[in-house]
Amino acid sequence: MAPGKRGVQAPATDAASALLAGLVSRGVRHLVVSPGSRSQALALVAAALEHAGLVRLHVRIDERVAGFTALGIARETGMPAAVICTSGTAVANLLPAALEAHHSGVPLLLLTADRPPELRGVGANQTTRQPGLFHPATRFDADLPVPEAVDPDATAPQTDTFDAVAATALAAALGEGALAAGPVHLNVPLREPLAGAVPAWLVERATRAAPADDVTDSEASGALYQGGGGIGVVGVAPEQAALVLEPGPRTIVVAGADAGPAAEDLAHRGGFPLVAEIVSGARFGRHVVHSYRALLREPDLGGRVQRVVVFGHPTLSREVARLLGRDDVEVIAVRGPGEPVNLNRATRTVDAVRVDGDTDRAWLGDWMRASRAAAVDLSPPAPDAEGLSSAVPQERLGAINAEVEVMRAPVDRAALVDALWRATWPHDRLVFGSSRLVRVADDLLGGKKVAVHSNRGLAGIDGTIATATGVALASQDDERPGVTRVLLGDLTLLHDVGALLLPPGEREPRLQVVVGNDGGGTIFDGLEVASVAGAAAMERVQFTPQNVRLEHLALAYGWEYRRVSTRVALDQALTAPSGGRQLIEVPLDR
């Protein structure tokens, strides 16, 4: 039990202990706390559980950062982290993470402290209508009873009531009885005294085994396909119940965000071309289609598609969106962790698929030949070994000058995404922000089996660094190796700059934040607005120019900082041993 002052038992602390012990006993291992007065009972119990070695505790002063940190943890582990905050606007700051979790199918537990019912709607300080605030996005929400209502005589802990709530909340967050995992909101009204002595039974309750029928197993037996990033099981039907893909229609597999290796497996088994977004976790294998946007526009390829099997949530290309919206294409969406895809209003959603019959080798061959011809080689030119060893001075000097030019070549967006992709291996993690760079990566990079994360449920720029921090911290559990790298633009960085603040004494994430800094939102240069708006209007309300000194920002928050402008320097920065947090700035032309 955590050291601290001893005092009388408080119903608020007993209730908080029962609720958190119920979650921990069922597998929750990460708690994220944003400190506040009304939530102090929950926070102090969380500290006691950390002291007992039962959870990892992460303290964040910004609730929006806290929510996205929990989101990243859940993305990596498949288990929700519980976010604890105080009442009022603190609760509202969790909404962006809750919406992303809802649309991506990521489990999330939101524990919001509140004033008791008699203080709502009467002008009490720091009080608003919290129950139901996240209702459109939640799998389950409850306005819990005040502890005194459960135990009016204050003679016994409210273990049964709040333990049962914990069981229900965790099962709902993991998607039990629902189409997908997602956020759960437990509003916890508390009367004073708001904190007391942590009960002696806390650790015993938190370590006891939950009933066998009270635990959701995300590794359900009979699973045909599993989603990417540990988010959950995609196909959970027994094999005999899976939809059989009969031979005949010209078929491709489309893998969107969080599709995972299931998409590649189906493409491999069925002999189908694989259109895999860079954020899918499925861009690997022999059937990956390079430069898929251009090929989908080809009448002899994209124009002849008759059937599409979709995994995950495709968001990065209009060509895929148009294909999935065609009324002459049969679209089959394999149910996954996120929102079902139904762009043509006639998509068939299934729990699992399997192939039966011969491969259409001619169809696959057409795609693979076109893919090889369209592949982009981003490798720097090989040294002229013959010229470097030549006895002719002019030949040797020419070869040396060519090497110097390669070393001095500035980094553009293509070189940046290529360097990041090459530096990342299966034991690492790669997080993409919703910036222009993710589309460059999607357009150019080849196949490689690495763990990829990205908040593409709503494709917002908020919370990217916090999400990556959560991914990094969770990936380091059990002393596992690897580095988490996040690639984002300068505005995405500045939108989540508060996530750079980490408390001293907490575990240091192995995290490289790689910022492509072009001074503003150049993604708008490629959208319709650029052909409509004048230069002054674009500069004023779209481009969002900025001249922040990122070096000073990094140093203020205690990050190691490097600014690189050549490919050689970038490769060295990405692969140099790192034991902590690095911000790597790469200047880019607009």
Distance of alpha carbon 312 from alpha carbon 402, whole angstroms: 44
> Of the given ranges (93-102, 212-221, 369-378, 497-506), which has the lowest mean pLDDT?
212-221
Judgement on whether residues 355 and 401 belong to the same structural domain of the protein: no
C-beta of residue 280 within 8 angstroms of C-beta of residue 257: yes
Q: pLDDT at position 153, please?
A: 59
Residues 6 or more apart in contact with residue 138 via CB below 8 angstroms: 98, 102, 182, 183, 184, 185
Judgement on whether residues 341 and 394 belong to the same structural domain of the protein: no
Question: Hey, which residues does 388 pair with through a beta bridge?
Answer: none
209 vs 278 pLDDT, higher one: 278
Distance of alpha carbon 262 from alpha carbon 227, whole angstroms: 7
> Of the given ranges (131-135, 229-233, 412-416), which has the lowest mean pLDDT?
229-233
Q: pLDDT per residue over 506-520, tens digit each?
A: 999 999 999 999 988
Place of tokens 């635990």: 215
Provide the CATH number for the domain around residue 511: 3.40.50.970
Q: pLDDT per residue over 333-389, tens digit each?
A: 999 888 889 999 999 999 999 998 778 999 999 999 999 999 988 877 777 778 778
Judgement on whether residues 263 and 157 belong to the same structural domain of the protein: no
Question: Hey, which residues does 587 pair with through a beta bridge?
Answer: 517
Judgement on whether residues 233 and 368 belong to the same structural domain of the protein: yes
Give how far Cα 534 sits from Cα of 76, 374, 518, 538, 541, Å: 43, 35, 20, 6, 11
> Of the given ranges (68-77, 224-233, 441-450, 487-496), which has the lowest mean pLDDT?
224-233
Distance of alpha carbon 478 from alpha carbon 6, whole angstroms: 33
| Rg of the chain taking only CA atoms, in angstroms | 26
Picking from 187, 214, 241, the residue at the C-terminal end of a domain is: 214
Judgement on whether residues 336 and 454 belong to the same structural domain of the protein: no
Q: pLDDT at position 189, please?
A: 96
Distance of alpha carbon 282 from alpha carbon 273, whole angstroms: 12
308 pLDDT band, cuts 50/70/90, is very high
The number of beta carbons lying within 10 Å of the beta carbon of residue 151 is 18
Judgement on whether residues 234 and 183 belong to the same structural domain of the protein: no
Task: Report if residue 2 sits inside a domain.
Answer: no
8 pLDDT band, cuts 50/70/90, is low
Q: pLDDT at position 223, please?
A: 22
Provide the CATH number for the domain around residue 231: 3.40.50.1220
The number of beta carbons lying within 10 Å of the beta carbon of residue 484 is 27
Q: Which pair of structure tokens corresponds to residue 542?
A: 């779209």
Distance of alpha carbon 231 from alpha carbon 214, whole angstroms: 20
Picking from 350, 374, 398, the residue at the C-terminal end of a domain is: 374
pTM: 0.91
Task: Report if residue 394 sits inside a domain.
Answer: yes
4 DSSP assignment: S
Q: pLDDT at position 149, please?
A: 85
Q: pLDDT per residue over 531-541, tens digit each?
A: 788 888 878 88
217 pLDDT band, cuts 50/70/90, is very low
Q: pLDDT per residue over 59-96, tens digit each?
A: 999 999 999 999 999 999 999 999 999 999 999 999 99
Q: pLDDT at position 156, please?
A: 56
| C-alpha closest to that of 194 among 43, 67, 81 | 43
Distance of alpha carbon 60 from alpha carbon 66, whole angstroms: 6
Place of tokens 């809802």: 102
Judgement on whether residues 327 and 358 belong to the same structural domain of the protein: yes
Distance of alpha carbon 197 from alpha carbon 199, whole angstroms: 6
Residues 6 or more apart in contact with residue 123 via CB below 8 angstroms: none
233 pLDDT band, cuts 50/70/90, is very low
Judgement on whether residues 168 and 76 belong to the same structural domain of the protein: yes
Q: 436-449 burial, b for 16+ CB within 10 Å, e for fewer?
A: bbbbbbbbbbbbbe
152 pLDDT band, cuts 50/70/90, is low
Q: Across residues 486-495, what is the average pLDDT?
A: 96
184 vs 538 pLDDT, higher one: 184
Instruction: Tell me phi and psi for residue 14, to 5 degrees.
Output: -60, -45
230 pLDDT band, cuts 50/70/90, is very low
Q: Across residues 250-263, what is the average pLDDT?
A: 97
Task: Report if residue 345 sits inside a domain.
Answer: yes
Let me know if 468 is exposed, middle or buried by CB neighbors in 10 A (0-12, 13-18, 19+): buried
Distance of alpha carbon 543 from alpha carbon 545, whole angstroms: 6
Q: pLDDT at position 180, please?
A: 87
| C-alpha closest to that of 13 among 266, 219, 195 | 195
Across the beta sheet with 183-189, the strand order is 56-59, 30-33, 82-85, 108-114, 183-189, 140-143
Q: 184-200 burial, b for 16+ CB within 10 Å, e for fewer?
A: bbbbbbbbeebbbbbbe
Instruction: Tell me phi and psi for residue 56, to 5 degrees.
Output: -100, 125
Judgement on whether residues 309 and 447 belong to the same structural domain of the protein: no
Give how far Cα 321 sits from Cα of 59, 374, 433, 439, 498, Å: 40, 21, 20, 15, 34
**Whole-number percent of the chain with pLDDT over 70:** 91
Task: Report if residue 220 sits inside a domain.
Answer: no
167 pLDDT band, cuts 50/70/90, is very high
Number of domains forming the structure of the chain: 4
Q: pLDDT at position 384, please?
A: 75
Q: Which pair of structure tokens corresponds to residue 359?
A: 């491969």
Q: Which pair of structure tokens corresponds to residue 533?
A: 């708006």
C-beta of residue 354 within 8 angstroms of C-beta of residue 347: no
Task: Report if residue 137 sits inside a domain.
Answer: yes
Task: Report if residue 219 sits inside a domain.
Answer: no
Task: Report if residue 288 sits inside a domain.
Answer: yes
Q: pLDDT at position 122, please?
A: 86
Domain that holds residue 169: 11-214
Judgement on whether residues 237 and 338 belong to the same structural domain of the protein: yes
Q: pLDDT per residue over 555-572, tens digit each?
A: 999 999 999 999 999 999
Judgement on whether residues 384 and 531 belong to the same structural domain of the protein: no
Judgement on whether residues 396 and 499 belong to the same structural domain of the protein: no
C-beta of residue 388 within 8 angstroms of C-beta of residue 403: yes
Distance of alpha carbon 479 from alpha carbon 507, whole angstroms: 11
Q: Across residues 520-548, what is the average pLDDT?
A: 80
Q: pLDDT at position 228, please?
A: 32
C-beta of residue 280 within 8 angstroms of C-beta of residue 452: yes
Task: Report if residue 332 sits inside a domain.
Answer: yes
Name the average pLDDT for the chain: 89
Distance of alpha carbon 273 from alpha carbon 288, whole angstroms: 6
